[in-house]
């Protein structure tokens, strides 16, 4: 079975500082990996995804993530945090052997941005 | 463009009552699903559907029923509400298998409290 572990339920950074949200996955086959963002009182929206090909993927709002198979990781980064980045971030994995839309989500990381 | 619409946004039930959470999408998506979100646990899949007339269980299906009579609608029924079903429920839709898998479009959520 697939699983996702997000290290740190809360991360706090200063405005302008580097954002690093950690995600490790478990999968017996090459996975599809995703980051979703949830702003307060809203549904989730896709930030970026890795399917095949280039291991460094870029998403919306300046975020990017790198797929590292040897480390089974898919960490999310942004060089300079903005106040508007404050939200909850979810890493997710899917297994194309079964059905690509059945995502398994991590527990989430709440990002706080301090002014 | 409405996207995924969920109703109601808030509901309070007493133990043993039944109710239906409504979900409708106007994007002609084949895939629809229901997740529940609980603090520290991320999102867990309740039921999903790969097309009209086809449904299947997810990770936490007990106490819930679904049906898919049309492409647009995917209601979630709570048969006899229990306090453990207090949660925020999200409906999500996506394209069919093989086309942009894992790119889910979420509704804004339905917050359910069972007393």
B106 contacts chain A (CB < 8 A): yes
A108 touches chain B (CB under 8 A): yes
Compare CB distances from A9 to B31, B40, B43 and report the shortest one's residue.
B40
pLDDT for residue A4: 95
Contacting residues of B for A42, CB less than 8 Å apart: 108-109
pLDDT beyond 90 at A52: no
Give residue A114's pLDDT: 97
The CA distance from A19 to A11, in Å, is 9
Instruction: Give the nearest chain B residue to A2 (CA atoms).
Output: B59
Q: Cβ contacts (< 8 Å) between B31 and chain A: which residues?
A: 101
Q: Using one digit for the tens of pLDDT, what is the confidence trace for B31-67?
A: 999 999 998 899 999 999 999 999 999 999 999 999 9
Q: Is the pLDDT of residue B102 over 90?
A: no
B71 φ/ψ angles, rounded to the nearest 5 degrees = -65, -35
For the ranges A98-102, B3-7, B14-18, B82-86, the lowest mean pLDDT is seen at: A98-102
């Amino acid at each position: 079975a697939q699983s996702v572990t997000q290290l740190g339920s809360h991360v706090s950074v200063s405005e302008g500082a580097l954002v690093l949200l950690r995600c490790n996955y478990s999968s017996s086959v090459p996975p599809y990996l995703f980051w979703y963002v949830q702003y307060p009182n809203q549904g989730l929206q896709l930030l970026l995804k890795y399917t095949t090909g280039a291991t460094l993927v870029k998403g919306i709002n300046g975020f990017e993530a790198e797929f590292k198979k040897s480390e089974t990781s898919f960490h999310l980064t942004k060089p300079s945090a903005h106040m508007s980045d404050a939200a909850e971030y979810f890493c997710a994995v899917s297994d194309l052997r079964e059905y690509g839309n059945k995502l398994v989500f991590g527990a989430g990381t709440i990002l706080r941005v301090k002014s | 463009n409405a996207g995924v619409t969920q109703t109601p946004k808030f509901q309070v039930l007493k133990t043993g009552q039944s109710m239906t959470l409504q979900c409708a999408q106007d994007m002609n998506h084949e895939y629809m699903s229901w997740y529940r979100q609980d603090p520290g646990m991320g999102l867990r899949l309740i039921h999903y559907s790969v097309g009209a007339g086809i449904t299947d269980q997810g990770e936490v299906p007990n106490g819930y029923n679904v049906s898919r009579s049309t492409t647009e609608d995917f209601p979630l029924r709570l048969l006899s509400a229990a306090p453990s079903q207090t949660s925020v429920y999200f409906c999500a839709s996506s394209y069919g298998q093989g086309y942009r898998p894992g790119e889910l479009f979420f509704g804004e959520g339905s917050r359910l409290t069972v007393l």
